[in-house]
Amino acid sequence: PQNPAGAQTSTSVQIEHVTKRFGNTTAVNDVSLNIKSGEFMSLLGPSGCGKTTLLSMILGILDVTDGEISFNATRVDDIPMHKRDVGMVFQNYALFPHMSIRNNVGFGLDMRKVPKKEREKRVEDALSLVQLETLAERYPKQLSGGQQQRVALARALVVRPKVLLLDEPLSNLDAKLRKEMRIQLKRLHQDLGITTIYVTHDQEEALSLSTQVAVMSQGVVQQIGTPQEIFLHPCNQFVANFIGYANFFEGRLEGESGDNFIFRSEDGLVLATKKDQAHSVGDSVLLTIKPENIKLVEGLSGRNSVGGRVVVSDYVGNTTGYEVLSEFGDHLKVNVLGFESFPEGTELTLYLDPAHLLMVAKE
């Protein structure tokens, strides 16, 4: 596609020891991030962790309390928003209701006094980028949510921003449209290569879209890594929990056997878990496993199998989620692909594969 953002696709963003305080609340606490040119960086975390505050400081609608923000190593935290060349898409789209789609998209160019001819061309290119050429004369309320979101995207891109900021841009869309828009966003980023910072609390979105993910909690970055690093090697309990490791066992490594440590939980559950460099026998550890990595079987026994009883069974189409009460008193979450019928009350065996058990640091 024509590339209205083409002129500026090589901007890196440096966030150095940035803090934001509102009175007694520290919304962002000494955050440092190095975002390379062309990167798609997600800020992932629960509500209230400081994602939007950090984004607002990069945009320039909020001042930093401490620290520095730079684009290509040039400070921007001390210059006004309109001089930073940042494009922004808000969760609620924030379109002007009394302006046509064409004029909504052209607004940023009017503010910059771009000549009429060039304006027309760039608006046309931006609309075609999000496949909305045919709806240019309509008004926002005559468009669907997904179409409005694409207008917001075109409006942000038409000014050729150095950096594109997206604050939960898909969260007002229904599940199906959300997935479609996610693919479109991904393609757009691949085509334009524009440095993008994306705020979300949805781990699937963050993992699918990003080249780098920063997981945040309480104003602090807990871990930065590629989606794979975050998913396979969460650095602590918070990150593990947030990206879907729902089962945790506290205990001690009491011995070893071949490639495995032998772990004993406080309740007496004994599990073999793959050795790693970071731990040794005698350590207190937190062991975790994802719901989809526990197998439910009937009548098996042996190493890493635990007896249990189905408490809740929750069929949701492709998968069935179970809550199982183990013989050691743990409530375990288990996801099984497809429909396997273990009604509530079924006695069965859980198998926890040593290869899927992970040791993480406590919060």
CA distances in angstroms from 360 to 137, 179, 206, 279, listed in the order given? 55, 31, 21, 10
Give the nearer residue to ligand ATP in terms of CB position, either 28 or 143: 28
Residue 52 lies near ligand ATP (rule: CB under 6 A): yes
- Binding part of the chain for ligand ATP, among 11-19, 40-48, 70-78, 332-340 by CB under 6 A, reads 40-48
Smallest separation, CB 30 to ligand ATP (Å): 14
CB atoms within 10 A of CB 169: 27
**Candidate list 13, 15, 18, 27; residue touching ligand ATP; CB under 6 A:** 27
Residue 238 lies near ligand ATP (rule: CB under 6 A): no
Provide the terminal-to-terminal Cα distance of the chain, rounded to the nearest Å: 46
**Candidate list 51, 119, 122, 189; residue touching ligand ATP; CB under 6 A:** 51
Q: Report the alpha-carbon distance of residue 30 to residue 220 in Å, rounded.
A: 7
**Candidate list 8, 30, 48, 146; residue touching ligand ATP; CB under 6 A:** 48
Q: Report the alpha-carbon distance of residue 163 to residue 71 in Å, rounded.
A: 9
Report 184-213 residues binding ligand ATP (CB under 6 A).
Answer: 201
- Binding part of the chain for ligand ATP, among 42-50, 256-264, 333-341, 348-356 by CB under 6 A, reads 42-50
Give the nearer residue to ligand ATP in terms of CB position, either 15 or 348: 15
Give the nearer residue to ligand ATP in terms of CB position, either 11 or 52: 52
Q: Buried (b) or exposed (e) across 52-72, using 16+ Cβ within 10 A? A: bbbbbbbbbebebeebebebe
Residue 22 lies near ligand ATP (rule: CB under 6 A): yes
Given the rule CB under 6 A, which residues bind ligand ATP? Answer: 22, 25, 27, 45, 47-53, 201
